[in-house]
Structure 1
Amino acid sequence: MSDPADLAAKVESGELRFHELEEHADADTAAAARRLLVEEQSGADLDAVGDYGFPAEVADSAIENMIGAAQIPMGVVGPVSIDGAAVSGDTYLPLATTEGALLASVNRGCSVIDGAGGATARVTKSGMTRAPVFRVADVAEAEALVSWVRDNEQVLKEAAEETTSHGELLDVTPYVVGDNVFLRFRYDTKDAMGMNMATIATRAAADVVEEETTASLVALSGNLCTDKKPAAINAVEGRGRSVTADVLIPRAVVEEKLHTTPEAIAEINTRKNLVGSAKAGSLGFNAHVANVVAAMFLATGQDAAQVVEGSNAITTAEVKEGDLYFSVSLASLEVGTVGGGTKLPTQAEGLDVLGVRGSGDPAGANADALAEAIAVGALGGELSLLAALGSRHLSSAHESLGR
C-alpha cells in the first residue's frame, strides 16, 4: 500500500496528477493524499472530513477527486400512516438537514395526519425525459422531421431500447421553434431515477434521426427536458414522477392539535401559496415543499440538484363540511432506489428505513413508494407551516427551539 505522503509528494513534483491517484493506490489512501495536499495549500484541518464510515471505493461512481465526506445530521419523523399504491402502513420518514426546527415542524404535521387516519398518496404519471435539439434548414424541413418522427416512433423505440435492459421509451413529442426541432423523449426507467439511462438511449435514437432525415443534432440536451432548472414544462407535463398526497382532517383535530381552524388554513393557503405565488411569478405554489424534498433526497441518495424540479408543487386547502381537505401535488419528482447515490451506505440505510432499497417487485414499485413517502412528508411540512402561520406561532417555534 502506498503512503499518502509519498503520493502527495509525487503530485507536487508533477510526477502524478491529482485525479490519477486511484491508479496508484487504494481509494482511501488516494483520498488521504489529497487531504494532505489541500490542507497544505489551504491551511484547513480536514480531520473531520477524513473521518468517514465507509470504504472510499464505494463512492467511486458518485464522485471524483474524493477527499472524504460531508456529514449531515439525519433524523426521522413519524411514523405516519400512508395509504399508497406502492407503500402502505406506518412509516418513518428519514430526513437529512442542517435546518433546525424543520423535523420538529414536519413531525407535527405528520402527527396531525396520523390523528386524522393517515394520508393517501398516488403516483399519477411517470417518465424520465431527455430532449435533444436538431438543426433543420427551414420550417418546411422542420415539419417533415416532425412527420417522420410520428411515423417512425417504433423505429426510435427499438434503437433507444437496445441500449438498456430496463428502460422503455414511452413517447416522443416534437416541438418546433424556427429552424430548431426539439424531440422530448420520455422513458419508463423503472426503479432508477434514469437520467443517464435516458441520455444514452436518446443518443442512439438521435443517431437514427440523423441517418434517416436531413436534420443535424446540435445538442443531446436542448433544455426542453428540463433537468435541474425551473421550467413550466415540468410543471405541466411532469418529469420523473408526478405524485399527489392528501388528507381529510376533522375540524376537532385541526383545532386541538394545530390551534387554528380549517377556514384559517384554507384562507392562508389561498392568499399565500396561490395568490402570493402567482404575483411572484412562481412555478411552485406551496409554502416550503423544497425543505422536505431536499432533506429526503439527501437522506436517500437522490440527486440533490433535482430539488429544483422536485419542489415544483401545488398545495391546496379547502373546507369540506366543516373539516379540512389538504393536498400537495408534486409535478416532477425525480427519484430512484437503484444506482447513483443510493449505493452509499448511509443513504442505502435511509432507503431501508422506508423499505425501498433496490429494485421493486414489480419493477418501479420501490421508486413509486419513495415518491409517495416524500409526498406525504411534504404534506406534513405544508400543513404544519400553514397552521403555524394561522396560529401565529411561527416565530415563537423557532425561538423556543433556539434556531
Structure 2
Amino acid sequence: MDEYISKIRSGDLKLYALEKSLPADDAVSLRRKYIEEETGADLSAVGTYTIPIDRVVTRNIENMIGCVQIPLGVAGPLTVKGEYANGSFWLPLATTEGALVASINRGCSAITKAGGTEVRILRDGMTRAPIFAAKSVAHAAEVARWAEDNLLLLKVAAEETTNHGELIGLTTYTAGTSVFIRFEFDTKDAMGMNMATIASEAAAHLIEEETKAKLIAVSGNMCCDKKPSAINIIEGRGKTVSAGVFLSDELVSMVFKTNSATLAEVNTRKNLTGSARAASFGFNAQAANVVAAMFIACGQDPAHVVEGSNAITTVDLVEGGVYVSVTLPSLQVGTIGGGTSIATQNACLSTLGVAGGAENPGDNAKAFAEIVASGVLAGELSLLGALGAQHLGKAHRELGRGEK
C-alpha cells in the first residue's frame, strides 16, 4: 500500500485510476488511507459498508473512499389506491431529521383509516432542451418552425440512440437569435435524464444540419434540470402526479387533535397566502422532506428534490370533513438505472414492489411516483395538523429533538 501511495504522491499514479490496478475494495481502502494522511482525519467510519461496489465505482461515483451511512426508517402502512400502485405500503425513509418519520407515520395512519389515497399520474415526460444560435430573428423563427414541422424526422434520429426511450413531443422557444427546442421523452422505468440527453443530442445535430443554426449546448436550461423554474411547474417534467384523500371531521379530531376548519385555514394562510407573499415556487408545508427521504432511500438523484418540492397542497372544506390533496408537477423518479441498482437502495425499492423494470415498461416508475406522492400527502397532513393543534414545538420537545 505504501508503494502505491508513493506513486500517487510522485504523480506516477493518478488517484482516480486505482481501480485499473486494484480490486475495487482495495482501491477504495488505499484512496481512503491516502486522504487520511493528506488531511489528518480519521476516516475509519466511512470504511465500513455492506454494498458490493464493483459496479458502484464504474457507474455511480468516482474517487470513492467509502460510504456515508444515513439512518433508515419506515412509515406506514399507507393505503394507496392508484392506477399503478394499489395496496398497502411501508415507506422507506432515509433521514437525519428527528421527528420526520414519526410525522409521516401519523399522516399514513390518518390516510389509511380514511380508506387510502386517490392518486393519479396526469402527465409523464422527461425533457431536455438544446440551445441553438441563429443568424437573425427571422432565421430563429425558421429554425423553430422546421423543428415543429419535422417531429417525425427528429423522432427517428432520437430513438436510434435508445432501445426504450420515445420522443413524444417538442416545444420551441426563442429569445432574439437563441432558439431552444424542449424535447419530451417517455423513458419507461428509467428516470431517463441520460437517455434524454443522448437522444436530444442526436436530434439536435439533425436540426443543425438542416437549418444551419449552430448547436451551442445540448442543454440550454429550458429543460429545466435541478433548478427552481416556473416552466417545470406549468409544463411538468418527469411525472405530474396528484394524490388526495377525504378525512371526516371525526378523523381530523381523533388523529390531529384539531378541526377541519382550522386545518383548512392553516393551509390557506400558510401554504397558499404565505407562499405567495414569499414568491415561493412551493405552495406546501414540507413536500421536500418526504421527497428527499424517499429519494435517498430508493436510489433517486437527490438533486431532483428541487423539482420534487414544486408541490401545491390544497384543503377543501366539504360536507362532513375536508378533502386534502397534493399535486407534484415535476416528480422525477425511476426504478432502473442510476442509484437504483445499489444493493441497499434496491432493497428499499423491493419493499415497495417496484424494483427494476416492469413487465409493462414504465409501470414500476409510475407506481413509485404514486407512492411518493401519497407519502408527500401524509407528510402534509401531519404537519398541517400539528400546526393547527399548536403541537409542533411540543412534538419536537417530547421526541428529544429540540435544541436548547
- Superposed pair shares fold, TM > 0.5: yes
Equivalent pair of 1:7/1:30 in contact (CA under 8 Å): no
- Paired position in structure 2 for 1:255: 253
How many Å apart are 1:234 and its aligned residue? 0.3
SS class of match (1:358): coil
Question: Contact conserved, 1:262 with 1:318, CA < 8 A, in 2?
Answer: no
Q: Given the alignment of the two structures, is residue 286 of structure 1 paired with residue 288 of structure 2, yes or no?
A: no
Deviation at 1:25, TM superposition (A): 0.4
Deviations 1:103-154 (A, max 9, x none): 0000001101111111111111010000011000111111111221121110
Secondary structure of the residue aligned to 1:34 is: helix
Give me the whole-angstrom Cα distance separating, in 2, the residues matched to 1:46 and 1:138. Answer: 57
**Residue 92 of structure 2 corresponds to which residue in structure 1?**
94
What corresponds to 2:27 in structure 1?
A: 30
Match of 2:68 in 1: 70
User: Where does residue 111 of structure 1 map in the other structure?
Assistant: 109
1:310·1:334 contact (CA, 8 Å) conserved in 2?
yes
Asked if 1:175 is matched to 2:173, the reply is: yes
Please state if 1:400 is matched with 2:398: yes
Partner of 1:195: 193
Q: Deviations over 1:49-88 (max 9, x none)?
A: 0101022213120000000101101111001111011111
Look up the equivalent residue of 1:27 and give its one-letter code. A
Aligned length: 400
Q: Conserved in 1, the CA contact under 8 Å of 2:52 and 2:343?
A: no
User: What is the identity, as a one-letter code, of the residue corresponding to 1:314?
Assistant: I
**Once the two structures are superposed, what CA deviation does each residue of 1:250-270 show, in whole Å capped at 9, x if it has no partner?**
110101111101110101100
Q: Using the TM superposition, give the Cα deviation of residue 15 of structure 1 relative to its aligned residue in structure 2, in angstroms.
A: 1.6
Are the equivalent residues in 1 in contact too, given 2:291–2:372 (CA < 8 A)? yes
2:335 aligned partner: 337
Displacement after TM superposition at 1:12 (Å): 1.6
Question: How far apart in 1 are the matches of 2:295 and 2:105?
Answer: 17
User: Aligned to 2:11, which of 14, 34, 48?
Assistant: 14
Distance 2:201 2:18 in 1: 32
Whether the aligned pair in 2 keeps the contact of 1:241 and 1:331 (CA below 8 Å) is: yes
Match of 1:53 in 2: 50
- Shift in Å at residue 360 of structure 1? 1.1
* Cα separation, 2, equivalents of 1:136 and 1:402: 60
Give the partner amino acid of 2:30: A
User: Which of 250, 266, 275 does residue 264 from structure 2 map onto?
Assistant: 266
Q: What's the TM-score, normalizing by structure 2?
A: 0.98
Q: Aligned partners of 1:378, 1:333: CA distance in 2, in Å?
A: 11
Shift of residue 383, structure 1, vs aligned partner: 0.3
Q: Does the CA-based 8 Å contact 1:263-1:318 persist in structure 2?
A: no
Q: Partners in 1 of 2:342 and 2:370 — Cα distance?
A: 22
Pairing partner for 1:161 from 159, 162, 166: 159
Partner of 1:127: 125
Structure 2: runs of 5+ lacking an equivalent: none
Inter-partner Cα distance in structure 1 for 2:157 and 2:145: 18
For the residue of structure 2 that corresponds to 1:68, the secondary structure is coil
Structure 1 spans left out of the alignment, 5+ residues = none
* Helix, strand or coil at the partner of 1:48: helix
Return the alpha-carbon distance in structure 2 between the equivalents of residues 402 and 41 of structure 1: 38
What is the CA deviation profile of residues 350-402 of structure 1, one whole-angstrom value per residue up to 9, with x for unaligned ones? 10010000001211000001101100110000000000000000000000001
Q: Which residue of 1 aligns with 2:386?
A: 388
Which residue of structure 2 aligns with residue 351 of structure 1?
A: 349
Q: C-alpha deviations, 1:251-294, integer Å up to 9, x for none?
A: 10101111101110101100000000001011110001000000
Alignment root-mean-square deviation, CA: 0.8
